[in-house]
Each structure stands twice: as structure tokens, then as C-alpha cells.
């Protein structure tokens, strides 16, 4: 697939999503699609759409499309999405890009002064503005991210500090998103001629023990070479890393930058280095277990994304890397058997400086593998040959699409596997947790919810998939999507995601026996009776969450607490068992 085809595909998807009623406007559909890519690729976690735009005058113009708040790192991400409606690729001017940055930053400044007090509670950005006002003292970093289906050929503005808050800027244009999403199919193409391309050979020591599964080498890599590699190959180098690290903003990465700037000769002593894997290498034997590696084939960095990206940032900033050397471990897997599982464990266990999330390395677990198998062989019961596509690993759909060798085969693939029937593992977890009556967990965001769901899978509290379970999961996805459209039609405001989760959970608690998942699978839709019931429940949920037990509580935060779910049940006359009462675990934003 070329960039123009990718652009045409997402424009077509945006219009189709709007026509299907999933978004109020085609522009919001494009926001959802582009932000969805960033979330799926782990660039930003738990994105919430919160479109707001005010353009009464250029000096007062404000806009924001979506946001994400990382409470652990005190970082607020404000995302501004610009959809160029042309069917052809266009370029965004520097002036337009800078204007978008200014409008998002102006939104943050106005929100700090209490702008939400002048907004309607049904406004889609009301909760965001309220949260900024209430949590401003806790926000130390504001990331303003410009996202567009246009090509943006500019460098983002430099970081700036204002009243103890650091403003950083980033750009994700159509080309960068295309390269990010398409990287999964090109991982094996990381063939690097160190000697020919970078005038460098790696002197490495081979582990003497002979293993059937792998060979292992250790050595050191010049920082300049590593920085150039990342600068030229980008995310393709760290696809198998459990983190998709992109910015040097946290304490670890600032330490790397400061060492490069102030004590470059100490980098080798201070840094733990990188862990890498390759399919095979070309090297010269220097004797006594020492080799000179001059070519790497299928090379991937599985631990050390922070080090790599931070050195690349220092390289772009013209810092001197001549004295910087990075410890490197290189593992060559001799067999393709269980390769993904072994690499996942290398990455998992090597990464210890920051918390690893479950979804980062769970794609190859048997549970998801089995779900994928069912999705590839079970067709929906309709005249049209069609199936749901379970995407257990990011980018799978696009990879499979690109594998089709002709235009006719690509067209046939999309007919048999429509984009609106792609189910990511995080969406599946969200739908199943709603059915399991955990709406407060779902409200904590996709990543947190997925972690909780996988804990239940590992504990044996979620059945191992069989054909019936797979069909019921799809039925729950259909139910979730239908409820989403119902709530959107009700125009209840900025709490749609919470209302959907709580409405489905309440439906299962009150009328679980009447939710016929087999019937939903057969019809690929819900009946009018269930639709009417969801509409009534959605209104009850809305009235409930907007009247928290403590007046003035931020509604979004309130929905993340089990107390909110328990109170809803009590308000419906349902007695809450002691085991269901809220525990003392820390809430996560």
C-alpha cells in the first residue's frame, strides 16, 4: 500500500463511520480514526474525544479534538486534529500548523481560569475544561499534538516553560501515521549494513555455551550510529519493544539527555544499554570468541527504546555524541519456533525501569491466538460472505490487506473483512467487562481495563475461547456498538463512553436473562425491545452519574469508582453484596 491509498482509505472510512451513525459528523469520525491509530500503536493511552472549537476571532480562537491525562507522570496530552477534506493528499502550511498549536494552548490557558463554569454540562469538552481547572496544580507537562490527514513538513515548536508547566509539541501527519501503522509488515526488512552504510563494525564477544535455541553476543555500539539508525528507521527498530517510546520527557529520559550534554564520557557507566534480536548476522571471526559484526538482518531493539530515542533527540539537537557508547546485547534465535513468545519474554524481563502494561506483551498469549483463529474461519450468518476480523496484534488488518497482491484481491478482502467489523483486543476486553458488570473499570480507560481483563483471563475467571464464546463476544461487540449509537442519538454530552458502559452493565444486572446473545449473533443486530430498553437505561444512567454522592465531583472521575456502580444499583433497588463494595486500590486516571 502506498501513502495515497492509505489516505483514501481513511477518508472513506471516516465518511462510512459517519453515515453509519457512529459519529455526529464526518470530521469527528476522522478524529476518532486518527486518534484510534495513535492509541492502538501505544503512542498515547486512553484517548478521550472531546471536540471543541471557537473561532469567533483569530485572537480568541480555541480548539481541541481529544485529550489524555497520565496522572502518574502528571502529563496532559491535548490533541488537535485537522481534517483536510480533499480526496487528494494536501500539505499544511507552517502558518496553519502554528495556528493550530496556538488554539490548543489557548484552550488550556482559558480552562485554567475556570472556563467550564460558562459552558453547558452537555458540551463535549466540559469535563476536560473542568478537569484542567481542578487539577492544574498537578499538571507539570502539557503535550500539544497536531494530528492531520495532511502532510505537515515542519518541525514542531521547541519546548517552553510557563508557570512551572512545560509545554511540548509534536506532529503526527498522514505520512508519519502511515509509517507507524505499516511498520509491522516491515520488521523483518531491517537489514543494516553497518560497515557499508555507517562505516562501523561491532566488536562483540560471543557467549561460549552452545545453545540449540539461540546465540548471544555482547559489546558496545557508538551512540552516533544508534542515533542515526533510529533517525533513519524510526519506529521500525522498536516494533517488538513492549513500549512505543517517542519523547524524552520523563525523568529517565531527561537523565539520558543531561548525561550526553554534561558527562558524555560517563554514558557507558551510567546506562544499562539495549537488548536486541536479529534473524542472522554477517561477521568476521577474530578468534577467542570475538567477532566483528558488519551486517545485521531483521534487527530489532526489544529493550532500550528510551535510550535510543533520547540519543536520537540529542543527535537532532546537535549534541556531541562522539564520546557516547551504548552497551548492547544481541540475541540470534536459531529457530522460528516460539520466536514471538521468546522475544516477548526477552522484552518483558529486560524492561525493568518503568512499569510494563499487560497489553504490551499479551498479543501472543493462547487466549488471543485462539480468538484470532475463530475470527478467520467463522463467517457471519448472512447472504453476503463476511466475517469479523479479530486484531490480536496492532496493524494486523493493514498487514493482511497489503498482502493481497492485486487490486481485485484487495477489494475482495475489504468486502469479506469490512473495517467496521475489525475488533481489537482492547475493544473486546471493553465489551466483555461491560457484560461482566465492571463499568467503573471500563471507565478507567482502555489500557487499565485491558490489564484487569487479562488478570481475569490469567486467573481462569474468563473461559478459554471456544466457538460459542467467540460468537458471544462478537454479539457483545454488536450490543456495545448499538448502545453507543443510541447514546449518541440522545445527545447527552461529554459522558457518552461512561453512559454506554454503565447502561450495558445495568442491562445485564437487571435483564441478563433477556439478552439473547445467540439471537444477536444470528441477526447481527439487536431487536427493538432491547434497543428501547437500552435507551431508557441510558437516561437513568445519565441522571445517576451527573448526580454524584458528593456534589461538585468531577463526573469522569466519579465514574471510575466502584462506589458509583454500587450507588447506581442501590438507586435501582438492588442490594449490593459486601464482596461487591469498593476496595482500597488506587484509582488510575
Residue located via cell numbers 514471538:
340
- Per-residue pLDDT reduced to its tens digit, 342-384: 666 565 555 544 444 444 446 668 899 899 999 999 999 988 8
Q: Tell me how far apart the alpha carbons of residues 292 and 200 are, in angstroms, rounded to a whole number.
A: 10
Residue-wise burial string across 519-536, b where 16 or more C-beta atoms lie within 10 A, e elsewhere = ebbeeebbeeebeebbee
Of the pLDDT bands very low, low, confident and very high (cuts 50, 70, 90), residue 390 is very high
Q: Tell me how far apart the alpha carbons of residues 387 and 413 are, in angstroms, rounded to a whole number.
A: 10
* pLDDT over 60 (residue 389): yes
pLDDT at 491: 79
Range with the largest mean pLDDT of 73-87, 221-235, 293-307, 338-352: 73-87
Mean pLDDT in residue range 208-235: 83
- Per-residue pLDDT reduced to its tens digit, 138-158: 899 999 999 999 999 888 888
Q: Tell me how far apart the alpha carbons of residues 398 and 386 are, in angstroms, rounded to a whole number.
A: 17
- H-helix or E-strand containing 391? strand 389-391
Mean pLDDT in residue range 288-303: 89
pLDDT at 19: 79
Q: Tell me how far apart the alpha carbons of residues 505 and 500 are, in angstroms, rounded to a whole number.
A: 9
Strand partners, 332: 215, 278
pLDDT at 58: 66
* pLDDT over 80 (residue 35): yes
Range with the largest mean pLDDT of 29-38, 379-388, 472-481, 572-581: 472-481
pLDDT at 335: 61
Mean pLDDT in residue range 488-495: 79
Axis-axis angle for helices 467-490, 528-545 (nearest 10): 60
* pLDDT over 60 (residue 186): no
pLDDT at 242: 43
pLDDT at 516: 95
The half-sphere exposure of 310 on its side-chain side, counting CA atoms within 13 A, is 24
pLDDT at 445: 85
Mean pLDDT in residue range 85-114: 92
- Per-residue pLDDT reduced to its tens digit, 422-470: 998 989 999 999 999 999 999 998 878 998 999 999 899 999 999 999 9
Domain boundaries, the chain: 3-179, 190-356, 366-580
* pLDDT over 60 (residue 163): yes
For the chain, give the percent of residues with pLDDT over 90: 42
Mean pLDDT in residue range 37-55: 81
pLDDT at 589: 33
Would the pTM count as exceeding 0.75? no
* pLDDT over 70 (residue 415): yes
Cell of 538: 441510558
Which position has the higher pLDDT, 21 or 188?
A: 21
* pLDDT over 70 (residue 578): no
Q: Tell me how far apart the alpha carbons of residues 533 and 511 are, in angstroms, rounded to a whole number.
A: 9
Q: Tell me how far apart the alpha carbons of residues 224 and 203 are, in angstroms, rounded to a whole number.
A: 16
Alpha-helical segments (H) within 223-363: 223-233, 251-262, 267-270, 305-316, 339-350
Comparing CA positions, the residue from 261, 368, 257 lying closest to residue 308 is: 257
Mean pLDDT in residue range 73-91: 89
Of the pLDDT bands very low, low, confident and very high (cuts 50, 70, 90), residue 42 is low
* pLDDT over 70 (residue 269): yes
Which position has the higher pLDDT, 122 or 136?
A: 136
pLDDT at 96: 92
pLDDT at 453: 94
The DSSP output letter for 54 is E
Q: What does 311-336 look like in DSSP terms, one character per residue?
A: HHHHHHTT---TT-EEEEEEEEES--
Q: Collapse the DSSP code of 174 into the 3-class scheme (helix H, G, I; strand E, B; otherwise coil) and give the result.
A: helix
Mean pLDDT in residue range 9-18: 82
Contact 149, 204 (CB under 8 A): no
pLDDT at 217: 93
Rg (CA), the chain: 25
Mean pLDDT in residue range 114-132: 87
pLDDT at 218: 94
Which of 240-254, 339-353, 568-582 has the least mean pLDDT? 240-254
Helix, strand, coil % in the chain, rounded to nearest 5: 50, 15, 30
pLDDT at 434: 97
Residues in the chain: 589
Comparing CA positions, the residue from 317, 330, 313 lying closest to residue 273 is: 330
- Per-residue pLDDT reduced to its tens digit, 511-527: 988 899 999 999 999 99
Which position has the higher pLDDT, 476 or 261?
A: 476
Which of 298-307, 406-415, 561-570 has the least mean pLDDT? 298-307
Strand partners, 333: 214
* Cβ neighbours of 587 (radius 10 Å): 13
Amino acid at each position: 500500500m502506498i501513502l495515497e491509498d492509505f489516505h483514501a482509505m481513511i477518508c472513506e472510512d471516516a465518511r462510512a463511520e459517519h453515515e453509519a451513525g457512529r459519529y455526529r459528523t464526518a470530521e469527528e469520525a476522522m478524529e476518532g480514526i486518527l486518534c484510534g491509530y495513535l492509541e492502538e500503536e501505544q503512542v498515547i493511552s486512553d484517548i478521550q474525544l472531546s471536540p471543541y472549537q471557537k473561532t469567533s476571532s483569530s485572537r480568541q480562537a480555541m480548539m481541541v479534538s481529544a485529550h489524555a491525562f497520565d496522572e502518574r507522570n502528571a502529563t496532559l496530552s491535548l490533541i488537535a486534529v485537522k481534517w483536510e477534506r480533499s480526496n487528494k493528499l494536501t500539505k499544511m502550511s507552517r502558518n496553519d500548523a502554528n495556528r493550530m498549536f496556538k488554539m490548543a494552548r489557548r484552550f488550556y490557558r482559558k480552562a485554567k481560569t475556570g472556563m467550564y463554569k460558562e459552558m453547558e454540562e452537555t458540551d463535549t469538552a466540559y469535563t476536560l475544561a473542568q478537569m484542567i481547572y481542578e487539577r492544574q496544580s498537578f499538571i507539570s507537562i502539557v503535550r500539544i499534538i497536531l494530528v492531520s490527514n495532511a502532510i505537515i513538513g515542519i518541525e514542531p515548536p521547541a519546548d517552553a516553560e510557563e508557570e512551572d508547566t512545560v509545554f511540548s509539541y509534536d506532529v503526527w501527519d498522514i505520512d508519519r501515521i502511515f509509517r507507524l501503522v505499516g511498520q509491522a509488515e516491515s520488521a523483518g526488512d531491517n537489514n543494516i549494513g553497518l560497515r557499508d552504510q555507517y562505516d562501523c563494525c561491532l566488536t562483540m564477544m560471543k557467549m561460549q555455551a552452545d545453545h540449540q535455541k539461540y546465540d548471544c553476543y555482547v559489546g558496545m555500539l557508538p551512540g552516533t550510529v544508534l542515533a542515526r539508525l533510529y533517525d533513519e528507521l524510526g519506529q521500525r527498530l522498536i516494533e517488538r519493544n513492549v513500549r512505543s517510546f517517542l519523547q524524552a520527557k520523563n525523568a529517565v529520559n531527561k537523565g539520558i539527555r543531561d548525561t550526553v550534554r554534561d558527562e558524555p564520557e560517563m554514558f557507558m557507566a551510567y546506562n544499562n544499554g539495549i537488548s536486541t534480536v536479529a534473524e542472522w548476522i554477517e561477521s568476521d571471526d577474530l578468534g577467542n570468541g570475538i567477532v566483528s559484526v558488519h551486517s545485521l538482518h531483521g534487527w530489532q531493539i526489544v529493550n532500550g527504546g528510551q535510550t535510543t530515542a533520547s540519543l536520537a533527540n540529542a543527535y537532532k539537537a546537535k549534541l556531541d555524541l562522539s564520546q557516547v557508547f551504548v552497551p548492547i546485547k544481541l540475541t540470534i534465535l536459531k529457530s522460528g519456533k516460539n520466536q514471538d513468545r521468546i522475544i516477548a519474554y526477552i522484552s518483558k524481563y529486560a524492561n525493568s525501569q518503568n512499569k510494563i502494561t499487560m497489553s504490551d506483551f499479551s498479543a501472543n498469549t493462547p487466549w488471543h491466538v485462539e480468538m484470532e483463529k475463530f475470527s478467520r474461519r467463522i463467517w457471519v450468518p448472512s447472504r453476503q460472505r463476511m466475517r469479523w476480523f479479530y486484531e490480536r496484534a496492532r496493524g494486523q488488518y493493514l498487514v493482511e490487506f497489503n498482502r493481497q497482491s492485486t487490486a481485485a484481491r484487495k477489494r475482495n478482502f475489504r468486502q469479506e473483512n469490512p473495517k467496521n467489523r475489525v475488533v481489537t483486543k482492547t475493544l473486546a476486553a471493553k465489551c466483555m467487562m461491560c457484560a461482566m458488570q465492571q463499568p467503573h473499570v471500563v471507565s478507567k480507560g482502555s489500557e487499565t481495563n485491558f490489564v484487569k481483563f487479562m488478570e481475569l483471563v490469567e486467573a481462569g475467571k474468563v473461559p478459554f475461547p471456544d466457538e460459542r464464546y467467540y460468537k458471544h463476544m462478537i454479539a457483545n461487540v454488536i450490543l456495545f456498538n448499538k448502545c453507543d449509537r443510541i447514546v449518541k442519538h440522545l445527545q447527552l454530552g461529554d459522558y457518552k463512553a461512561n453512559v454506554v458502559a454503565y447502561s450495558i452493565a445495568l442491562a445485564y444486572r437487571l435483564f441478563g436473562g433477556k439478552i439473547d446473545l445467540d439471537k444477536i449473533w444470528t441477526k447481527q443486530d439487536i431487536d427493538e425491545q432491547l434497543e428501547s430498553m437500552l435507551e431508557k437505561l441510558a437516561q437513568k444512567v445519565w441522571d445517576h452519574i451527573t448526580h454524584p454522592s458528593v456534589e461538585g465531583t468531577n463526573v469522569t472521575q466519579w465514574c471510575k469508582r466502584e462506589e458509583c456502580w454500587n450507588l447506581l444499583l442501590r438507586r435501582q433497588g438492588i442490594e449490593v453484596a459486601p464482596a461487591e463494595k469498593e476496595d482500597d486500590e488506587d484509582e488510575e486516571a
